[in-house]
Chains A and B, each alone.
Chain A
Amino acid sequence: MSVRAQLFITCLGENFFSDTLKGMVRVLERLGVQCEMPEGQTCCGQPFFNSGFQNGALAPARQFIRVFGKTDGYIVAPSGSCVDFVRHHYLQLFPTGTPEHARAKEIVARTFEFSEFLVNVLKVEDVGAVFPHKVTYHASCHLLRGLGLREEPKQLLRAVKGLELVPLNEEETCCGFGGVFSVVYPEVSQAMMQTKVNNIQASGAEYVVAGDPGCLMNIAGGLHKMHSPIRALHLISVLAAQ
């Protein structure tokens, strides 16, 4: 029986990373995983929760467990942040003992971030990708500290043919996105982003790769504003290249 992946495309993924999502399907199918896209999915609710509207986050979260509760197999997302939220906050959103809590628990157990799914579940590092470029890696906070995925994305990158992975100074320092933080305190967010972009430019890479749409929106915007030739790419887009 083949492995099945329910694609949790995430709201930022859907609106701003369409090509990454298509790449996700290609990479997974290349590995023999059968992809499905549950209809009716919207957003995990994290933007509301992190803005302080934790009762407000309940409605989107309910929608999420309604949609994904009907599926089986693994749930895979192109975002460390969204998976971190589902894994670490859903059980707290729905009171223990309720049917919703039980359903959330069942969902949480089979929800994985993309690099985590490949390296730790499928036990794959080489996905047959070719990307003959100099690449540096930015460790997204929720992927790194929330899910504890320090090495997995880099293991995948190192296995890509032709790819040269160069170190990034302050790789594990936040890029300044922070969701609502970036609009509440744009000046601080910008200063953090600027530091990140300066480090990226100093790395000598042609591409900066990360595993979270939020960071990528922020970093790509920063690079664009500075007219930098360096492009920001989702890890999946690199793995999809052949």
Chain B
Amino acid sequence: MNEIPTHIDFRTNVQHVPPHIPASIRKATTKFLGTRQAVVDVLGDERWQALRQAAHDIRLHTLQHLDHYLTRLEEQVHAAGGVVHWARDAAEANQIVLDLAHEHQVKRAVKVKSMATEEIGLNHALQADGISVMETDLAEFIIQLAGVGPSHIIVPAIHLTKEDIAQLFTRKLGVDAPPDPLKLCEIARTRLREAFLSADLGISGANFLVAETGTLVIVTNEGNGRMCTTMPPLHIAVVGIDKVVPDLESLSVLLKLLPRSATGQKMSAYTSFITGPRRSEGEGGPKEFHLVLLDNGRTRILQDDVTRETLLCIRCGVCLNVCPVYNNVGGHAYGFAYSGPIGAMLSTQLLGMRAAADLPFASSLCGACAEYCPVKIPVPEILLRLRRRAMEGDALERAVAPAAITSGARLGTLAFSHPWLYEFGTQMLKYVQAPLLKNGWLPNLPPPANRWTLARPFPAFGADFRAWFRNRTPQGRAREQQRKFGIGVIAAGIVALAAFLLARRKKDER
């Protein structure tokens, strides 16, 4: 995904999801959830819950003292021989990378999978400047060939089957690619090997930044991360400021949770710790190491005491795997690099309501994500706060609700806060619905309620419990008589008023 979207229309995107998507996504997410459960069960629920709480506390503490830990991180990266750059937004981050690339006459860059660089559209910026960029994570390599963004934050090509990938390789690489995962890997591996050897720049993100030691931590399974960060003479890491952790002890807690939640692994195949560039000519590794610390709206997210917990996220992707919405629509429907529940929270805040007000509503608030989240992000609470921001506005943004919706809500609150009006309404609806009733159901309602009947019929209105309950006692019966009389008077009044208005209109017409 190289363009930063200015408006996301979730419903339209959903309507264009290819029909095979839910099945292929579900196959993969079910597998991940199964392996995850197995490794969580080994630890036992009590231990797991304690780890989650510890991780939540560590992450929240870090966010509350972000200035301190970032300063410490900068000092330590500097002490290890690296250079730290601060980027306010996507444009600044891209420019920093471009300037460094120019300075080092970079022609070819290789990349480790990174959500931050997807977020800022770095590939697009580099390519527009004539620098070739190659994604080296297998799935990123595939979607780069396909020319689309990631459809899952840890499994970017989750929407493609092995047959799709074989076709793509045949078409784009001009080779005879069979739909065999091993053969497909070999084809990619040959290309990647050439790229690693000839690249003059390696670009990565990071899973964590350790403030105490100035260490960049990258969790991967393919080994491409090590190739990208050690083979080329220049290594640039673009990392969100939210990725900092205080020290190695806190890191060890998070590393217990990340691979288990993400892929159901106790540990990923590679966990790389990178502290600065090489220290002498004899050592391996890049000559220069640059760390670009990306804000891009993160400090703004910190300003809201509920939604700031979005930044606790360690990008494990389990919220996507367990989300029934994500499983039915896939990642591309969310219109930006981040998808699923984390996308609904993060994209909305990074892009703003004008672009992404659809996303906080793309959830049934079932809460499965919050139950699985390894750092205990209260996802439904955050989505509710963002819905409020969209509809009523708050200290950070103005409301973007259409006037018709705001008026509708006002009318609703009026009826729901005046019991007589409410009770009158419940009784009237029983009569008003008559022409639309079919076998005790309302199969077709007029707009906007047709949004419900598109999917299934609406049940018939049938409020009679209050009358039933009141009629059980003499006092209640008297009250019920009064109420019936009241409703009769109001209804007669409405009919009389309608008749009067109609008659007057007829007279005016004449």
Contacts and interface: CB of A to CB of B under 8 A. Distances in A.
Contact of A182 (B419, B455, B460): B455
Contacts of B15: 187
B459 A217 contact: yes
A190 interface: yes
Given A51-B387, A224-B457, A63 B419 contact: yes
A114 B429 CA distance: 27
Contact of A48 (B365, B367, B412): B412
B347 to A, nearest CB: 16
Interface string A144-173: 011000000000000000000000000011
Interface stretch (B57-65, B226-234, B463-471): B463-471
B11 A185 contact: yes
A222 B401 CA distance: 30
B437 interface: no
Interface string A125-149: 0000000000000000110011000
A148 to B, nearest CB: 11
A183 B459 CA distance: 15
A52 B360 CA distance: 10
A60 B410 CA distance: 11
Main secondary structure of the interface of A (DSSP, over half): helix
Nearest to B371: A145
Given A181-B365, A188-B14, A224-B456, A18 B465 contact: yes
Contacts of B360: 52
A22 B468 CA distance: 8
B270 interface: no
B409 A51 contact: yes
B366 A178 contact: yes
B413 A53 contact: yes
Interface residues of A, number: 67
Interface in B418-467: 418-419, 422, 426, 429, 441, 448-449, 451-452, 454-466
Contacts of A180: 361
Interface residues of B, number: 64
A181 B391 contact: no
Interface stretch (A39-47, A68-76, A95-103): A39-47
A122 interface: no
Nearest to B391: A52
B10 interface: yes
A173 B465 contact: no
B419 A39 contact: yes
A37 B413 contact: no
Contacts of A225: 456-457
B412 A178 contact: no
A231 B354 CA distance: 43
A184 interface: yes
B22 interface: yes
Contacts of A174: 324, 364, 366, 368
A13 B328 CA distance: 30
A191 to B, nearest CB: 4
B322 to A, nearest CB: 9
A52 B390 contact: yes
Contact of B441 (A57, A67, A191, A221): A221
Contact of B416 (A42, A52, A187, A191): A42
Contacts of A62: 417
B144 interface: no
Contacts of B406: 53
A49 B459 contact: no
A43 B387 CA distance: 20
Contacts of B366: 141, 145, 173-174, 178
A53 B324 contact: no
B419 A141 contact: no
A141 B325 CA distance: 14
Interface in B320-375: 324-325, 328-329, 360-368, 370-371
A187 B365 CA distance: 16
A25 interface: yes
A218 interface: yes
Interface string B1-29: 00000000011001100000010000000
B417 A190 contact: no
Contact of A52 (B387, B414, B417, B470): B387
A16 B419 contact: no
A198 interface: no
Nearest to B472: A25
Contacts of A179: 364-365
A136 B329 CA distance: 28
B388 interface: yes
A235 interface: no
B397 interface: no
Nearest to A221: B456
A3 interface: no
A53 B417 contact: no
B334 to A, nearest CB: 12
A192 B456 contact: no
Contact of B392 (A18, A53, A181, A217): A53
Contact of A14 (B388, B412, B415, B463): B463
Contacts of A193: 455-456
B89 to A, nearest CB: 27
Contacts of A37: 466, 469-470
Contact of B412 (A47, A172, A187, A221): A47
A50 B328 contact: no
Contact of B14 (A54, A187, A195, A217): A187
Given A14-B465, A52-B387, A53-B409, 4 more contacts: A48-B416, A52-B388, A56-B410, A182-B364
20 contacts: A15-B429, A42-B422, A53-B391, A54-B388, A56-B413, A60-B413, A60-B416, A67-B419, A145-B371, A146-B367, A173-B368, A176-B364, A187-B14, A188-B325, A188-B329, A191-B22, A195-B328, A218-B456, A221-B456, A224-B456
Interface of A: 7, 9, 11, 13-16, 18, 21-22, 25, 37, 39-43, 45, 47-57, 59-60, 62-63, 67, 141-142, 145-146, 172-174, 176-193, 195, 217-218, 220-222, 224-225
